[in-house]
């Protein structure tokens, strides 16, 4: 047997070595942000694929436009104007494999190792992974039940500037934040725009959950509130069609798009999926689907809040989202749900603990609970089971 070749000296510095993960599911799965598998519009998608191939299928023979299927970009722009009061040209948009790819592209276009990114003190895992991959210094801003606290944002910026840090942007999920579930009120958005404006810091707004509002009124986006082209925006079809469709989009000033698109590797977005989604949207199926899904999410959120009240009572606090997929549960200090995560999974309840979302590893007494995937009954039972596990292991009195 000849010697095995060693790549040890060849890998780029900072290129980590871990095997690619595979999905696993606890009996009660509150861990990953999945929508309800029973609500994926399979028949609608198959019919849409059929129409897409009949109309435009020959175009599969071509490499897709770098910015992605033009017809889907047109439909997204139309929807952004009608539903979100966001007015963009299709040339200011690149379709991406979910919002995750959009985030990776913007990161690469703007970040050099050591540059600083501001974010909520608990940040969407995929974003955190991209930021770390490209060696950004991620600094968390304090959040309360309404999200980012403007005063902490201001003082943190001043401190970082005094230290000579180069701040590249504020990354935020203002609506139904992942993992906190919070939504920034309008006045706070204006204040945050003002503070970042004083310091010439762009806002990168991740609006993946906009459509998942099942209560209350929509709040104007940073993108709409700004009129100086200082906001970069991304969103996704993952939560309103299915994550497996891998479809999202990046919207921004032309100069940002012109820098960011070339970091999209593998060419324009999957055209089979893009043309299928376009046909699905054109058929008018999306609105009904979103309404049906939000009815389901409201029922699950209600079940989760009720079961938390019943089983956690006064021994923990939690957020009450008006939409989205997440409740953030906080136990008393010292209750280490991070250390218990694997054991809880083995005992049947999956969650992600707070330290996974924290730039500096805080939050071992907090956890994210996603209510999108399990049924109402499973949500109710699963929260009770979670309380029993925590009690059994001495985390709840």
Per CB under 8 A, contacts with a second copy among 301-330 are: none
Of 15, 217, 284, 334, which lies in the binding site for a second copy, with binding defined by CB under 8 A?
A: 15
Of 77, 263, 316, 350, which lies in the binding site for a second copy, with binding defined by CB under 8 A?
A: 263
- Our finding on whether 198 is near a second copy (CB under 8 A) is no
* Residue 204 β-bridge partners: 171, 232
Query: Whole-angstrom Cα distance, residue 29 to residue 348?
Result: 8
Q: How far is the CB of 352 from a second copy (least distance, A)?
A: 13
Q: How far apart are the first and last CA of the chain?
A: 60
Cis amide bond preceding 379, omega within 30: no
The helix (run of H) or strand (run of E) holding residue 248 is strand 248-251
Question: How does DSSP assign 284-345, residue by residue?
Answer: THHHHHHHHHHHHHHHHHHHHHHHHHHHHTTS-EE---SBSSEEEEEPPTT--HHHHHHHHH
- Our finding on whether 74 is near a second copy (CB under 8 A) is no
Residue among 357, 358, 359, 355 at smallest CA distance from 137: 359
Binding to a second copy (CB under 8 A) within 172-191 occurs at none
Binding segment (CB under 8 A) for a second copy, from list 92-100, 204-212, 293-301, 384-392? 92-100
- Our finding on whether 50 is near a second copy (CB under 8 A) is yes
Write each residue from 95 to 114 as x if it is in contact with a second copy (CB under 8 A), else as -, in one continuous string: -xxx-xx--xx--xxxxx--
Q: How far is the CB of 270 from a second copy (least distance, A)?
A: 4
- Our finding on whether 298 is near a second copy (CB under 8 A) is no
Binding segment (CB under 8 A) for a second copy, from list 172-180, 266-274, 306-314, 329-337? 266-274
Of 27, 65, 135, 294, which lies in the binding site for a second copy, with binding defined by CB under 8 A?
A: 65
Residue among 386, 285, 373, 384 at smallest CA distance from 343: 386
Residues contacting residue 33 through CB under 8 Å, at least 6 positions apart: 178, 239, 325, 326, 370, 372
Residue among 111, 91, 76, 145 at smallest CA distance from 322: 145
Query: Whole-angstrom Cα distance, residue 320 to residue 355?
Result: 21
- Our finding on whether 84 is near a second copy (CB under 8 A) is no
Instruction: Take residue 334 and report the two structure tokens written for it.
Output: 């010292």
Of 26, 31, 67, 240, which lies in the binding site for a second copy, with binding defined by CB under 8 A?
A: 67
Binding segment (CB under 8 A) for a second copy, from list 27-35, 79-87, 156-164, 385-393? 27-35
Q: How far is the CB of 351 from a second copy (least distance, A)?
A: 16
Residue among 30, 15, 106 at smallest CA distance from 300: 30
CB atoms within 10 A of CB 15: 8
Q: How far is the CB of 26 from a second copy (least distance, A)?
A: 13
Of 82, 162, 163, 200, which lies in the binding site for a second copy, with binding defined by CB under 8 A?
A: 200
Binding segment (CB under 8 A) for a second copy, from list 14-22, 171-179, 184-192, 214-222? 14-22
Binding segment (CB under 8 A) for a second copy, from list 178-186, 243-251, 308-316, 354-362? 243-251
Instruction: Between 113 and 309, name the residue whose CB sits nearer to a second copy.
Output: 113
Residue among 126, 75, 324, 297 at smallest CA distance from 211: 324
- Our finding on whether 242 is near a second copy (CB under 8 A) is yes
- Our finding on whether 383 is near a second copy (CB under 8 A) is no
Instruction: Between 129 and 291, name the residue whose CB sits nearer to a second copy.
Output: 129
Query: Whole-angstrom Cα distance, residue 365 to residue 371?
Result: 19
Of 227, 333, 342, 377, which lies in the binding site for a second copy, with binding defined by CB under 8 A?
A: 227
- Our finding on whether 164 is near a second copy (CB under 8 A) is no
């Amino acid at each position: 047997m000849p010697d095995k070749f060693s790549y040890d000296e060849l890998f780029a510095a900072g290129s980590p070595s871990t095997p690619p993960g595979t999905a696993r599911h606890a009996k009660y799965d509150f861990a990953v942000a999945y929508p309800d598998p029973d609500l994926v519009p399979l028949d609608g998608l198959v019919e849409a694929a059929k129409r897409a191939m009949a109309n435009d299928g020959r175009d599969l023979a071509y490499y897709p436009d770098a910015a992605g299927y033009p017809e889907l970009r047109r439909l997204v722009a139309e929807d952004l104007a009608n539903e979100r009061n966001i007015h963009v040209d299709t040339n200011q948009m690149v379709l991406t494999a979910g919002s995750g790819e959009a985030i990776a592209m913007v990161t690469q276009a703007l970040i050099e190792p050591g540059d600083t990114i501001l974010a909520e003190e608990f940040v969407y895992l995929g974003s955190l992974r991209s930021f770390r991959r490209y060696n950004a210094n991620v600094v968390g801003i304090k959040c309360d039940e309404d999200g980012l606290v403007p005063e902490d944002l201001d003082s943190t910026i001043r401190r970082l500037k005094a230290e000579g840090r180069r701040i590249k942007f504020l990354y935020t999920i203002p609506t139904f934040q992942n993992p906190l579930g919070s939504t920034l009120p309008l006045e706070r958005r204006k204040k945050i725009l003002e503070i970042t404006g004083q310091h010439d810091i762009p806002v990168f707004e991740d609006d993946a959950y906009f459509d998942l509002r099942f209560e209350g009124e929509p709040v104007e986006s940073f993108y709409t509130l700004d009129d100086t082209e200082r906001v970069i925006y991304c969103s996704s079809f993952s939560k309103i069609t299915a994550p497996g469709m891998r479809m999202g989009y990046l919207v921004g000033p032309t100069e940002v798009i012109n820098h960011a698109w070339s970091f999209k590797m593998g060419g324009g977005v999957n055209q089979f999926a893009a043309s299928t989604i376009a046909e699905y949207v054109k058929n008018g199926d999306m609105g009904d689907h979103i309404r049906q899904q939000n009815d389901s999410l409201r029922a699950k959120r209600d079940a989760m809040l009720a079961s938390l009240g019943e089983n956690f009572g006064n021994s923990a606090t939690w957020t009450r989202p008006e939409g989205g997929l997440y409740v953030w549960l906080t136990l008393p200090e010292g209750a280490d749900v991070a250390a218990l995560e694997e054991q809880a999974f083995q005992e049947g309840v999956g969650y992600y603990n707070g330290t996974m979302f924290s730039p500096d590893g805080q939050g071992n007494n907090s956890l994210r609970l996603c209510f999108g995937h399990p049924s109402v009954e499973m949500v109710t039972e699963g929260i009770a089971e979670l309380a029993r596990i925590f009690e059994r292991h001495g985390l709840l009195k």
